[in-house]
Amino acid sequence: MTDFCPVLWPEESTPEHLLDCNECGLDQHGSRMVWGEGNPLAPIMIILDNPGAREDRGGSPMVCGTRQTLQQAANLVGLTMEDLYVTFILKRKPVRAYDKQQVRQICMTHLKQQLEEKQPKLIFCLGNVAVQSFFENAEAEVKALRGEIHEIHGLPTAVGYHPLAVRRRPNLLSVFIEDWNFLKDHYNRIKSY
Ligand code: SF4
């Protein structure tokens, strides 16, 4: 895409009272909680389904493919980490089978709390799985919803493909960048009000 070099964005700590959260059962999967990353006060909140690992098997920090592609797209359209906060429908990465609908419904209460507290100006929801949870509509699809602003949970929301889908299907790259440009244009409009 460019010679821009992605880095691991700072992680926002999990609130103290939720460090041992076991409400949905994903605590049994062994992956650690990631509350969010980037700028916790950013005007744009990006929502992905789950955090993926920030460390490799040896415990060293790493920037996974999803984070690389996301940051490259942001950089390409002129957005920086200061503009962006990334969080997740699920705060832990599932590593085996689980009750998808129930678990997402449970953890969405934490995301709703984050929305209340942070009051982002704009949401960018990436990937069908995150979109279906966030829109609370099992039929929702990026393909049909992209290129428009939707009012979801009282907040202007744009959608796009998941960065991993773009890595797997490079033909999605131009559409992905279009969606990032759409986000940036809308952000510029609200900034100028
Ligand atoms: S994924 Fe969400 S509900 Fe489940 S244990 Fe983590 S914070 Fe709690």
Tokens of 113: 């709390």
**Nearest atom of ligand 1 to the alpha carbon of 106:** 3
In a domain, 43, yes or no: yes
In a domain, 5, yes or no: no
- Give whole-number Cα distances, 8 to 36, 62, 71, 91, 159, in Å: 12, 7, 10, 17, 23
- Structural domain count of the chain: 1
The residues, ordered by sequence, that sit 6+ positions from 164 with a Cβ below 8 Å of its Cβ are 65, 66, 69, 127
In terms of phi and psi (left: phi > 0; alpha: psi -120 to 50; beta: otherwise), the region of 14 is: beta
In a domain, 4, yes or no: no
Residue pLDDT, tens place only, 75-105: 999 999 999 999 999 999 999 999 999 999 9
Q: Kindly report the CATH number assigned to the domain that includes residue 59.
A: 3.40.470.10
In a domain, 98, yes or no: yes
Q: What percent of the chain has pLDDT over 90?
A: 96
Q: Is 34 in the pocket of ligand 1 (CB under 6 A)?
A: no
The secondary structure of residue 76, as a DSSP letter, is H
Q: Is 82 in the pocket of ligand 1 (CB under 6 A)?
A: no
In a domain, 124, yes or no: yes
In a domain, 2, yes or no: no
In a domain, 136, yes or no: yes
Q: Is 64 in the pocket of ligand 1 (CB under 6 A)?
A: no
Nearest Cα neighbor of 134 from 99, 110, 118 is: 110
Can you say whether the dihedral through the CA atoms of 20, 24, 29, 35 is positive or negative?
negative
Minimal-distance CA residue to ligand 1 atom 4:
24
Rounded Cα distance, 17 and 154, in Å: 27
Q: What is the pLDDT along the chain (193 residues), one digit of tens a residue?
A: 567 999 999 999 999 999 999 999 999 999 999 999 999 999 999 999 999 999 999 999 999 999 999 999 999 999 999 999 999 999 999 999 999 999 999 999 999 999 999 999 999 999 999 999 999 999 999 999 999 999 999 999 999 999 999 999 999 999 999 999 999 999 999 987 7
